[in-house]
C-alpha cells in the first residue's frame, strides 16, 4: 500500500516501481461438486507472490467473497534464502510424517526460491538467494520442507542457481497424493524429485539434476557466456510412447526474460526423456544427468530426424541457418495430440527506431508446432499431404517438396512478447444435446437427440478444440473434437 502514491504520481525515477507482480493461484474445494460454494463446508483460497515487487507470499480466504480474510504472509524470516517471489505456487497434497499439525486435507504449496535480481546481469551467475525449493502448509503457512545447498531437509550442493519458475507437481498413481516434481533453474538445469508421502521431513523427498544444459555445466560450457541459458518457465511433461517404450517427455525452452532484446545467448528448445516415468528413486547420487551430448540435434533435419535408442531426446537450436538472431523462448510449452506448441520472441533490428529515443525497438513472435517424438514440423502447420513420404495428390512421393527448419513455425501478428498457448474445450449444451446443426437421429453437429454421449460426440457432436495465443488464434487443428481418454498403468517400470 505504501507504494500506491508513487505509482499514481509516476515521477521519473532511476528504477521502476513494482507492486504485486506475481501470478495468482486459486484453489477451490467444492465438496459436492455442484459448482456452488457452500460457506459451511467449501473453501476458496488465493495464493500469490510479488514478482519483482518483493519477497513475500500471501494467502487469502475468499470463501465469503464479501468478507475476504488474510490467511498468512511469509517472507525472508519464515523462508530463509527466498528471493523475489516469481514462482507461482503449485497446490498439492503431501502428508509429512503422520500428518499431525497439517490441515485436514494435507494441502500444501510448493514453490521455487524465486528470482535473484543479479540474474539481470550478463553471463553465468551463481546465486546465493533463490536457490531453494519450499513446501508450506496451504492453510496456516507453516514451513514443512525445503531443499537447498545447505541447512535444509534435502541438501544438494549443486543447487547454485535460483528457481524463478513454477514447480511442476504430479500424482503418478492417482491416489490423491503427489509423487513427483520437476523444476528448472537459472543455470540451465532441470531437476527431478520423488516425494514419499508419510515420511518424515528429512526423508520426504529425494532428487537431483535431471538435465544440465547451460553454463552451469562447467564440463561443457565453462565460462562461455553464449551458453548462459536460463529457464524462466516450468517444464511441460507428457507421457509418450516410442515403439514399446514409455517415457515422460519433458519439454522446455530457454530464454533470458530479463533482457528479451539480447542477441548473444544461443538459446534452444529441448525435448528430454525421463525413461523411468513411474519409478520413484531413493538415491540420486549415481543418477546420470542429461547433457546436450546425449541429445539428437534436429535443428537442420526437418524431414526425417532420427533419435537413436541411446539418445535421451532432441534439441532445436533457435537460429536461422548459421545465424544466431536472439530468438528465445519466454513462455511455457504445451503438448497436445502428439505435438508440442511453443512461442518464441525475436528482437528486430530497425535502424530508424534504434536512432530515435522516442520509440522502442519492436520484436517479433513465432508459434512453433512440432512432433513431440522427433521435432519434425507438425501436419497442423504443413498439412498431412506435405509430410515426407505422403506424396502429392497422385501419390508420387518423389513430388513431395522437402521440408525446412522454417516449416516448424509461423509468424504471429501480435507485438510485445507472446504468451503461452492455451487450449479450450467447449462443452455441449445439455438442453439440446449439441449446437443444433445435426439431424434428428443425432448425426452431424447435434440435433434433438445428438451429442449427449461419447459416440455422438466423436461423430462430430462436440465443438472443435479452440487454441489461442493471447487474443490470436492458432492454426486450424483440423476440427479435432474432444474425446474421452483413459489412462492406465500396466507393467510400469
Selection from 251, 293, 295, 249 nearest residue 274 by Cα: 249
Full strand arrangement of the beta sheet holding 466-469: 421-424, 466-469, 472-473
CB atoms closer than 10 angstroms to residue 453: 12
Q: What is the pLDDT of residues 189-208, one digit of tens each?
A: 999 999 999 999 999 999 99
* Position 269 confidence tier, pLDDT thresholds 50, 70, 90: very high
Q: Residue 59 forms beta bridges with which residues?
A: 47, 72
Distance in angstroms (rounded) separating the CA atoms of residues 337 and 328: 24
Is residue 411's pLDDT more than 50? yes
Q: Which pLDDT does position 493 carry in this prediction?
A: 47
C-alpha cell at 253: 525452452
What's the pLDDT score for residue 440?
38
pLDDT of 171 higher than 80: yes
Residue 102: pLDDT above 80?
Answer: yes
Q: How confident is the model at residue 432 (pLDDT cuts 50, 70, 90)?
A: very low
Pick from 396, 369, 387: nearest CA to 477: 369
**Is residue 50 predicted with pLDDT exceeding 50?**
yes
154-168, 181-195, 240-254, 393-407: least confident range: 393-407
Its sign, for the CA torsion 284, 170, 154, 234, is positive
Low-confidence winner among 146-150, 209-213, 453-457 (lowest mean pLDDT): 453-457
| Confidence label for 457 from pLDDT (cuts 50, 70 and 90) | low
Please determine, for residue 459, whether its predicted confidence score (pLDDT) is greater than 80: no
Q: Is the dihedral of CA 13, 21, 124, 231 positive or negative?
A: negative
For residue 389, the model assigns a pLDDT of 47
| pLDDT at res. 316 | 98
Mean pLDDT across 309-330 = 95
Chain position carrying cell 504520481 = 9
DSSP for 291-306 reads -GGGSEE-TT--SS--
Identify the pLDDT of residue 449: 37
Q: What φ, ψ does residue 245 adopt, rounded to 5°?
A: -105, 125
Section 65-93 average pLDDT: 97
Q: What proportion of the chain, given as a percentage, has pLDDT over 70?
A: 81
Please report, rounded to a whole number, the percentage of residues in the chain having pLDDT higher than 90. 69
pTM, rounded to two decimals: 0.87
Bridge partners, residue 49, by sequence? 57
Amino acid at each position: 500500500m505504501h507504494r500506491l502514491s508513487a505509482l499514481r504520481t509516476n515521477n521519473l525515477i532511476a528504477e521502476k516501481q513494482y507492486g504485486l507482480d506475481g501470478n495468482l493461484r486459486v484453489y477451490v474445494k467444492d465438496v459436492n461438486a455442484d459448482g456452488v460454494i457452500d460457506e459451511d463446508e467449501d473453501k476458496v483460497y488465493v495464493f500469490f507472490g510479488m514478482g519483482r515487487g518483493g519477497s513475500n507470499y500471501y494467502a487469502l480466504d475468499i470463501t465469503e467473497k464479501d468478507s475476504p480474510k488474510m490467511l498468512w504472509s511469509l517472507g525472508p524470516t519464515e523462508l530463509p534464502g527466498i528471493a523475489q517471489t516469481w514462482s507461482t505456487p503449485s497446490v498439492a497434497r503431501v502428508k509429512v510424517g503422520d500428518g499431525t499439525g497439517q490441515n485436514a486435507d494435507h494441502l500444501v504449496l510448493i514453490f521455487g526460491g524465486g528470482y535473484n535480481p543479479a540474474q539481470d546481469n550478463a553471463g553465468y551467475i551463481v546465486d546465493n538467494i533463490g536457490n531453494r525449493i519450499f513446501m508450506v502448509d496451504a492453510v496456516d503457512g507453516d514451513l514443512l520442507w525445503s531443499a537447498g545447498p545447505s541447512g535444509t531437509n534435502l541438501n544438494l550442493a549443486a543447487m547454485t542457481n535460483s528457481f524463478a519458475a513454477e514447480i511442476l507437481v504430479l500424482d503418478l498413481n492417482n491416489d490423491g497424493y503427489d509423487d513427483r516434481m520437476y523444476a528448472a533453474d537459472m543455470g540451465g538445469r532441470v531437476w527431478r524429485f520423488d516425494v514419499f508421502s508419510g515420511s518424515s521431513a528429512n526423508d520426504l523427498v529425494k532428487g537431483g539434476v535431471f538435465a544440465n544444459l547451460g553454463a552451469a555445466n562447467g564440463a561443457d560450457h565453462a565460462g562461455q557466456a553464449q551458453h548462459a541459458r536460463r529457464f524462466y518457465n516450468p517444464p511441460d511433461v507428457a507421457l509418450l510412447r516410442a515403439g514399446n517404450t514409455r517415457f515422460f517427455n519433458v519439454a522446455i525452452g530457454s530464454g533470458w526474460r530479463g533482457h528479451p532484446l539480447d542477441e548473444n545467448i544461443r538459446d534452444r528448445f529441448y525435448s528430454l526423456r525421463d525413461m523411468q516415468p513411474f519409478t520413484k528413486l531413493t538415491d540420486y547420487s549415481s543418477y546420470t544427468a542429461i547433457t546436450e551430448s546425449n541429445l539428437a540435434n534436429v535443428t537442420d533435419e526437418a524431414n526425417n530426424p532420427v533419435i537413436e535408442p541411446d539418445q535421451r531426446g532432441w534439441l532445436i537450436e533457435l537460429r536461422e541457418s548459421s545465424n544466431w538472431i536472439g530468438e528465445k523462448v519466454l513462455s511455457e510449452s504445451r503438448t497436445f495430440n502428439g505435438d508440442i506448441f511453443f512461442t518464441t520472441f525475436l528482437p528486430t533490428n530497425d535502424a530508424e527506431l534504434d536512432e530515435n529515443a522516442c520509440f522502442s525497438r519492436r520484436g517479433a513472435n513465432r508459434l512453433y508446432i512440432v512432433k513431440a517424438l522427433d521435432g519434425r514440423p507438425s501436419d497442423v502447420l504443413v498439412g498431412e499431404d506435405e509430410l515426407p513420404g505422403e506424396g502429392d495428390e497422385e501419390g508420387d512421393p518423389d513430388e513431395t517438396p522437402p521440408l525446412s527448419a522454417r516449416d516448424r513455425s509461423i509468424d504471429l501478428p501480435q507485438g510485445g512478447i507472446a504468451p503461452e498457448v492455451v487450449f479450450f474445450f467447449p462443452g455441449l449444451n445439455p438442453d439440446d444435446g449439441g449446437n443444433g446443426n445435426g439431424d434428428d437421429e443425432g448425426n452431424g453437429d447435434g440435433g434433438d437427440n445428438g451429442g449427449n454421449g461419447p459416440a455422438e460426440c466423436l461423430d462430430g457432436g462436440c465443438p472443435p478444440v479452440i487454441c489461442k495465443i493471447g487474443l490470436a488464434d492458432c492454426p486450424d487443428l483440423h476440427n479435432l473434437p474432444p474425446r474421452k481418454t483413459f489412462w492406465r498403468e500396466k507393467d510400469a517400470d
